[in-house]
Structure 1
Amino acid sequence: MVSDGAAGRRTRTLRAELALKTLNADRGSPERLRGVIELVLVFSGAVVAAVYAPGEGDVPGEGDAPGEGDAPGEGDRLTLLESAGVPRSLYGLRDSYPLTGGSPAAESYRLGQPLWLGPEEVAAGPDTPRTSVGDFSLAALPLPTGPHGGGCLLAVTDSPDGFDTEDRHCLGLLAEAMVCPEQSRPAPEDALAAEDLLPRSSFSLAMDTGRVEVDDETLELFGIGREEFDGKVETLLRMTVPEDLPSLMSVVEADHMSIGDRELEFRILRPTGEQKWLRLRGRLLPAGDGQTDRLVGTVADASKLRPGVNEVARVQRLAAALATAGTVRDVSQAVVTALRQPLRADRIALAELEGDRLVVTVLDPPQPEAWPELWRSEWRSEWPDAPVRTMPTLAAALREGRAAIWPAGTPLEPALADVGPGGLAVLPLPAGGRMAGACLIGWDAPHDFGPDERALLTASAGLAGQALMRAHAFDAEHELVATLQRTLLPRRLPTLPGAVAVARYLPTTAGLEVGGDWYDVIPLPDNHVALVIGDVQGHNAGAATLMGQMRTALRAYAVEGHPPDVVVSHANRLLMDMETDLFATCAYVDVDMEEGMAWCVRAGHLPPVLRHPDGSTEIVVTEGGPPLGVVTQAEFPMTEIPLRPGALLALTTDGLVESAELDLEDGLRRMADQMAASDPAHLGLVADALLTYANRSDDVALLLMRYDGMALRPERESWTVWRVPQAVGHARRFTKRTLRAWGVTEQTDAILLVVSELVTNALVHTDGQVRLDLTLINNRFRVAVADISPRTPIKPTSIGWEATGGRGILLVEALSAAWGTVPVSGGKQVWCEIALS
């Protein structure tokens, strides 16, 4: 299937714009700059990003040449303001660059235009960075001129193709949103340079020996006594939770540490077995003559939220997560993840507001017994559907539209009191002038609500409400397209004479990408069955709609009685006349259940895979034509496929046998091997097993038919009726001979009368050839007369005594168990069945 890559990239740009709108920090503030840098990592594929602005050159740069960091003038260097991502020292990014130098940052700043450097250009540059990694690409973009002189954004990617077009678009968008704040750099004498000047809960680490000096409060945070501590940093690192150790090591290892303040939260496992969150703030002090580099800083208890930049960072991380959340469930999960651990909450529920009911989308914890009894009585399926009218306190909070907090002991209705006996917070989620939903946060133990928590809850509610509305629209569109696609596919497969068929459809999991794969099983006259599978280019509502049109067209042409190549040719011309930019592939197989013969026509589609009764398999070699909708006068050759009882025929779309890691030919061979090892007696299990390796980034259709052969083959005879005066008599004599040959002695008069009436009607009311077909199967005698007129005979409602005609159809209806007409190759066939005892 052709990917909608361009549409995906446009979606990424729109999400970047939405993410920028959710940043509530003031333009030009350090918090906003930090948030935009984090968005660079999310939307451009960069592994590290750094922002530089003109400033004083009094700080030696990391990796600078001797004397390069000591320029005396003010504003003669680009100095680092903020960075994010992996340690920038891995890629040789310095703390400052001279404005007159040849670095990409300086050139982009001076020229006022972006620079895009591939690995060769980075390596050949006049100011080549020293790195500890392989090749990488570098982008340098000038920032808008602001009160402090603009600046430059440097971004690095490890992608072998560098920044693609959409990456560059996102980088340009985010660079335009950056305004450098006023720089404030601590004077050297203000730095923590000696152990005796360390503040409370502080440490000083010698980077070369690993010896660390800490105060008693720091040891108390780790749960270690002074007499038990051996002075080695490894003793403290061993207490770190393994998942948090890599990020902590990136700070305390000298190779990964750069000059400037750093902040990190991590968990430790105290000797009592308790996990505890700690926050480390540190600064690397470069070595002087004969001195050792030292990392000095503080360690604090981060178990409770504290005011400051950390809350801003949490909100920014939530904004980034919500910007990429596609569904209501994704949004809800992102909010729960962002709030429950920092707030140390015992339970969080997030629900959409639909009319007067709250439809819960995420519960944490998910067990029903953890929630109020009323909620369990309103449980609908996976999540509860709670009526707002039973919770007046919640209804009042939703009307006011403000976060409401009730401490422990507040009398509340049972539906809310059990959510937070130790404290309850209700966050209405506003969006677009209405309430999109609500978030309930509860604690079991008495909880003190600080001003920092209130600020975090208010900011999170606004972000979550807007994201919930976007996700609801996304879910509604996805459900609309999915419903359209489901209604255009067969609800159930028909019962086949002499065969069993099963089908599977597996939609893609990639967002709103609902595609155009389809299948169909069409019963045809004379115990023929048409198997159809197809794939429309694209993943959108247009592809699903075109899929329905092509399925309907192929079915209509098939039931008209056309041979397979004509059916596919008509569908091709129809698609060409529709003037759409999309095309479709298709495989059409007409199976004669009586003879055990199939005729296959392919229009740019995969060949069938056949499993023989002995267990051997083959990818059927068939001629094929171009996809539908490409060439008007295309040829679609037919290929015969003999079938023996017990044979298994499989048709599929490319999502099952092709992916980025698997070639089409290898996928078909793997599918054939799976069919060889399967048991065709359980056709549903075979289909489920084949879907095991399906590519979930593309939708998949699979159609299987096991040919068993007909237990009782019908008797058939045909007669071409010539337009001569004795034509009806010839047809009656042919019918008599056939009845004697088949040993039919019952209802002979009724059969002969029906033959007379149907043949007479065809000769009188039509021109051209007339054909009489007789069939005997299961004690039912079928008479069918075909002509070249498409007009269906009409049964008269009343006939006068003087009328000389019009009674033929009434006689046929009276003598037959059933009768009707079907289109046949531009004409029609009138048939009736007479029951024999």
Structure 2
Amino acid sequence: MVDRGASAPSVPDDWPAHPDPILALNRMGSFDWDLDTGLFHMDAQAHEVFDLRPDEYDGNPETLAVRVPRPEAHRLDGLVAQAMKDGSENYGTYFRIRRRDGMLRWTHTQGYIRRDETGRPRRIIGIVRDATQEFEEIEACQDQTAQDEVRRRQTNVVQLTTAALAHARTVQDVIDVLKDTHGLTHLGATSLVMGLVEAGRIRLIAEGPAGSFVPGTGVTRIDEPYPMGEVVRTLAPRFIESPEEFAESYPILWPHITDLNITSAAYLPLIAQAKPIGAMGLLYSDRRGFSSDERNVLVALGSSIAQSLQRAMFYEQEKDLATGLQQAMLPRTIPSVPGADIAVRYRAGSTAGSLGRDIGGDWYDLIPLPGGRIGAVIGDVQGHDTHAAAVMGQLRIVLRAYAAEGHTPATVMARASVFLHELDTDRFATCLYAEADLSTGVVQVVRAGHIDPLIRQTDGTCRRIAVEGGLPLGLSAEFGRLEYPVGTIELDPGHTLLLCTDGLIEQPGADLDDGMQTLVAMIKTGPDDVRDLADLLIDVAEERGGDDDVALLLLRRRSLDTPQSGGRLQQHVAPGDPEALTQARHMIRAAVLAWGARERADEIELVADELITNALMHTEGSAVVTLRVLTATDRRLRVDVEDSSSALPRRRDAGESGVSGRGLLLVDLLTDVWGVEARGGGKCVWCEFVVGERS
């Protein structure tokens, strides 16, 4: 076996070492506090920590008051007393001392409480050490953590605000984002002021807290001594760090805002494309001064706000231009129509994030026609942009011109389609044209790819009127299908004709038929007055929103309070146009029935058809047929057929075949009186029928 003890090194006489040298090496001093006598013994290193010479300390803890500030002494005494009271074996804390040169130093102490068998504290043994460097490192770390948190929070606010500003479309949207609880208030600002640069002046658009508006500051010159004017002139931010600085720098403004308790403010120029477009002020009531990081964050935020504000200004300018164009294209006024109540409405669609799309090709029009008739138009050009509005304006004008010339509804629609096809555009349009004679209630309707009209009766019942239609304008000309069937509607007194575009019916995710049923139900329960009903329908469309325009036209035929002297209907019939002849027949029969002359309807239709046919066969031009009631008492109905030939009609024998020659015989047999009148370069063959009193 190996003798380990024989080879072991000798142990030093002073082992283990006394703790004093170890404490001294760590710059620690020791103390021994006798709680019974109150004596507080400190070694030499402890004296050095407290910056006391031995002759300056008498062992009484109160003597240390020359080095331990009163607040620190109270905190330290409270800590030790609590440790003794709650049975703790030790305690530790940092506290500050004031050295003889006046400098404050951080000190750390740790004590061990010795108790007797009853648990009563009798003695505290511990150490004290200079902890200034250690505490500064801790404090620096904490400050860095706090600064990092501040930067993170500020960066987060900038990101959130910038993201919110990305959705702001108008200047007011920008202001609302900044005033929102998730906006700049997270940076501690109490309120916001903002102004826009306009023609060398600043117009206030956000005035700060409620009731804080300063008279005379709504519009100010840039050279006036106000902070927003200063940052616009200098293109540099202005940070006001105290009320005193604010009062001294802006003596004109300060007296008006002293009640706002402003302690500091940051005014930022809003610069876009290298020029100032406005200025913004953040007012604070609970802080003074701005760190360099805070200033950098605010300047960066001001740049983001300026970009959003400029985008919003561009949008509003574009919208104003589009709205002006739209209003210029729509009729400026709607003529008053004897015998009818009219209401028209228009709502522009809106598409978020797209400039210039708050405008479209929807339109309405009301056209006075010869003989007291009225033409009602509703239409929709494809697209939602200024081009659609421009095409709509041109189409509205030519359609009005064709109707005013006296063409039949089908001809008006066909010619408008040819015009649109020949126009330098790829757009098409849907349209509905209704030509109404309010004295008879006869309405002729032509539909070009548009939705059907609706009729509301006096009891509120609403129904959709199915009208056979043709292709949309432009497409019918492109495909050579210019035939437009004409439907005839009888509009009784008190009934309302409703024409609209599909924006009033279509709903996201809903079937068009369901939308039509919803509209019918709404009209049924709506107010009787056409203006109130129009307001209701357009308000519902506004609440529903959507990116489609809405055009609406309501025509209500008034009740006949007094006997009418008669109505008047007129239609052109072109040669080689059998459809026009059919339409004329429909118009005549509907008018005769509406005027209460049912017993002679067949005779009147037959005679009118014969006169029109003769005009077309024996002349080279078109025929114009006019139907009217002459008097309200001894009621007579007159039919005029005009042509461009001066040759007078004459009776002829029918011949063996009996195919021709019977026309004037029928006229003479079936009418009460007839005749021929010269009309300029042509003539008019007329006839009258006594139809008696209207039942």
- Shorter chain as denominator, the TM-score bin is 0.5 to 0.7
Contact persistence 1:517–1:701 (CA under 8 A)? yes
Residues 1:312 and 1:785: Cα distance change in structure 2 (over 3 Å): same
Alignment correspondent of 2:533: 686
1:671 & 1:702 partners in 2: Cα distance?
A: 12
The Cα shift of 1:572 comes to: 0.4
Alignment pair present for 1:317 and 2:144: no
Residue 713 in 1 paired to residue 557 in 2? no
**Secondary structure, counterpart of 1:675 in structure 2:** helix
Q: How far is the alpha carbon of 1:413 from its aligned partner?
A: 4.1
* Corresponding residue number in structure 2 for 1:554: 399
Structure 2 letter corresponding to 1:702: L
Corresponding residue for residue 624 of structure 1: 469
Residue in 2 that maps onto 1:650: 498
1:430 — aligned with what? 271
Task: Tell me the residue number matched to 1:400.
Answer: 234
CA distance in 2, matches of 1:827, 1:545: 41
- Offset from partner CA, 1:700-743 (integer Å, 9 cap, x none): 11111111155453457999xxxxxxxxxxxxxxxxxxxxxxxx
- The answer to whether the 8 A contact 2:371-2:568 is kept is no
The secondary structure found in structure 2 opposite 1:374 is coil
1:374–1:415 Cα contact (<8 Å) kept: no
Look up the SS of the partner of 1:478 in the other structure: helix
Alignment correspondent of 2:485: 637
Measure how far apart 1:358 and its partner are. Answer: 2.1
Matched to 1:532, the amino acid is: V
In structure 2, what residue type is equivalent to 1:538?
Answer: G
Question: Which of 188, 202, 221 is the aligned partner of 1:358?
Answer: 202
Deviations 1:634-666 (A, max 9, x none): 221110010110001111111111121322111
SS of 2:231 mapped into structure 1:
helix
Match among 658, 676, 690 for residue 524 of structure 2: 676
With over 3 angstroms needed to count, the CA separation of the structure-2 counterparts of 1:591 and 1:300, relative to structure 1, is farther
Question: Residue 561 of structure 1 aligns to a residue in which SS?
Answer: coil
Paired residue for 1:588, among 410, 433, 451?
Answer: 433
Cα displacement (A) at 1:299: 14
- Which of the residues 678, 698, 701 maps onto 2:551? 701
Equivalences for residues 263-274 of structure 1 within 5 A: none
Q: TM-score, normalised by structure 1?
A: 0.48
Structure with max Cα Rg: 2
Please say if residues 506 and 701 of structure 1, whose CA atoms lie closer than 8 Å, have aligned partners that are also in contact: yes
Q: Does 1:509 align with 2:350?
A: yes
Contact 2:270 2:306 in 1 (8 A): yes
Confirm or deny: 8 A CA contact 2:373 2:569 kept in the other structure: no
Alpha-carbon offset, residue 451 of structure 1: 2.3
1:608 equivalent in alignment to 2:453: yes
Whole-angstrom distance in 2 between the partners of 1:777 and 1:312:
85
Q: Taking structure 1 as reference, are residues 595 and 433 closer, same or farther at Cα in structure 2, changes over 3 Å only? A: same
Q: How many Å separate the matches in 2 of 1:555 and 1:428?
A: 53
- In structure 2, distance between residues paired with 1:563 and 1:515: 28
What is the aligned residue count? Answer: 435
User: Are residues 609 and 299 of structure 1, via their aligned partners in 2, closer, same or farther at CA, if it must alter by over 3 Å?
Assistant: farther
Larger CA deviation: 418-427 vs 468-477: 418-427
Corresponding letter in the other structure for 1:310: R
State the match for 1:490 in structure 2: 331
Inter-partner Cα distance in structure 1 for 2:569 and 2:425? 44
Aligned equivalents of 1:692 and 1:656: distance in 2?
10
Query: How far apart, CA to CA, are the structure 2 residues paired with 1:521 and 1:772?
Result: 22
Give the conservation status (yes or no) of the 8 Å contact 1:520–1:532.
yes
The residue matched to 2:216 in structure 1 has which SS?
Answer: helix
Structure 2: unaligned runs, 5 residues or longer: 1-141, 571-619, 633-639, 646-678, 685-695
In structure 1, how many angstroms separate the alpha carbons of the residues matched to 2:631 and 2:184?
71
Say whether 1:334 aligns with 2:177: yes
* Amino acid in the other structure paired with 2:163: A
User: What stretches of structure 1 of length at least 5 have no aligned partner?
Assistant: 1-297, 379-384, 720-765, 779-783, 790-823, 830-837
Q: What's the % identity of the aligned pairs?
A: 33
The CA distance in 2 between the partners of 1:828 and 1:348, in whole Å, is 80
Aligned-residue offset at 1:361 = 3.5
The one-letter amino acid paired with 1:558 is A
Q: Say if 1:305 and 1:329 are closer, same or farther in 2 by CA, change over 3 A.
A: farther
Report the counterpart of residue 527 of structure 1 in structure 2.
372
8 Å CA contact 2:239–2:266 kept in 1: the answer is yes
Matched residue, 1:373? 215
- Corresponding position of 1:246: none
Alignment of 1:406-485 (within 5 A): 406=240, 407-409=242-244, 410-411=246-247, 412-415=250-253, 418=256, 421-445=262-286, 447-485=288-326
Measure how far apart 1:540 and its partner are. 0.7
The secondary structure found in structure 1 opposite 2:288 is: coil
Measured after TM superposition, the shift of residue 549 of structure 1 is: 1.0
Q: Distance in 1 between matches of 2:474 and 2:433?
A: 16
Q: 1:663: which partner in 2?
A: 511
CA contact (8 A) 2:185 2:191 kept: no
* Residue 445 of structure 1, CA deviation: 4.8
Over 3 Å counting, the alpha-carbon distance change for 1:718 and 1:301 in structure 2 is closer
Deviations 1:400-441 (A, max 9, x none): 111101221222144466457322221101111210111111
Q: Which residue of 2 aligns with 1:833?
A: none
Distance in 1 between residues matched to 2:536 and 2:207, nearest whole Å: 33
Task: Note if contact 2:223-2:233 (Cα within 8 Å) is conserved in structure 1.
Answer: no
SS of residue matched to 1:430:
strand
Asked whether the equivalents of residues 372 and 568 of structure 2 are also in contact (C-alpha less than 8 Å), the reply is no
What CA distance in whole angstroms lies between the structure 2 residues aligned with 1:828 and 1:317?
Answer: 81
Judge conservation of contact 1:576–1:630 (CA < 8 Å) in 2.
yes
Structure 2 CA distance for aligned equivalents of residues 414 and 438 of structure 1: 19
1:305–1:453 contact (8 Å) kept in structure 2 = no
Contact 1:336 1:364 in 2 (8 A): no
**Secondary structure in 2 matching 1:370:** coil
Shift of the alpha carbon at 1:612? 1.4
Residue of structure 2 in register with 1:128 after alignment? none
Q: Structure 2-normalised TM-score?
A: 0.57
Q: Mark the CA change 1:525 to 1:570 in structure 2 (over 3 Å): closer, same or farther.
A: same
Per the alignment, residue 566 of structure 1 pairs with: 411
Deviations 1:98-142 (A, max 9, x none): xxxxxxxxxxxxxxxxxxxxxxxxxxxxxxxxxxxxxxxxxxxxx
Give deviations 1:744-768, integer Å, cap 9, x for gaps: xxxxxxxxxxxxxxxxxxxxxx999
> C-alpha distance in 2, partners of 1:507/1:712?
43
The alpha carbon displacement at 1:393 in A equals 3.9
- In the alignment, what sits opposite 1:278? none
Shift of 1:448: 3.1
Deviations 1:157-179 (A, max 9, x none): xxxxxxxxxxxxxxxxxxxxxxx
* 1:345 pairs with 2:189: yes
Native 8 Å contact 1:596 1:709 kept in 2: no
Q: What is the distance in 1 between the residues matched to 2:624 and 2:496?
A: 38
1:140-289 to 2 correspondence within 5 Å?
none
* 8 Å CA contact 1:403, 1:457 repeated in 2: no
Equivalent AA in structure 2 for residue 585 of structure 1: T
SS at match of 1:502: strand
SS of residue paired to 1:706: strand
Q: Please give the alpha-carbon distance, in whole angstroms, between the structure 2 residues aligned to 1:717 and 1:460.
A: 71
Distance 1:371 1:423 in 2: 18
CA 700–772 in structure 1, closer or farther in 2 if over 3 Å, else same = closer
Distance 1:595 1:400, change over 3 A: same
* Deviation of the 1:318 alpha carbon: 2.9
| Partner secondary structure for residue 425 of structure 1 | strand
CA gap of 1:417–1:605, structure 2 versus 1, over 3 A, is farther
Deviation at 1:673, TM superposition (A): 1.6
Is the 8 Å Cα contact of residues 226 and 253 (structure 2) preserved in structure 1?
Answer: no
Residue type at the aligned position of 1:504 = R
Q: Hey, what's the Cα distance between the residues in 2 that align with 1:305 and 1:442?
A: 24
CA distance in 2, matches of 1:531, 1:718: 16
The offset of 1:630, in angstroms, is: 1.1
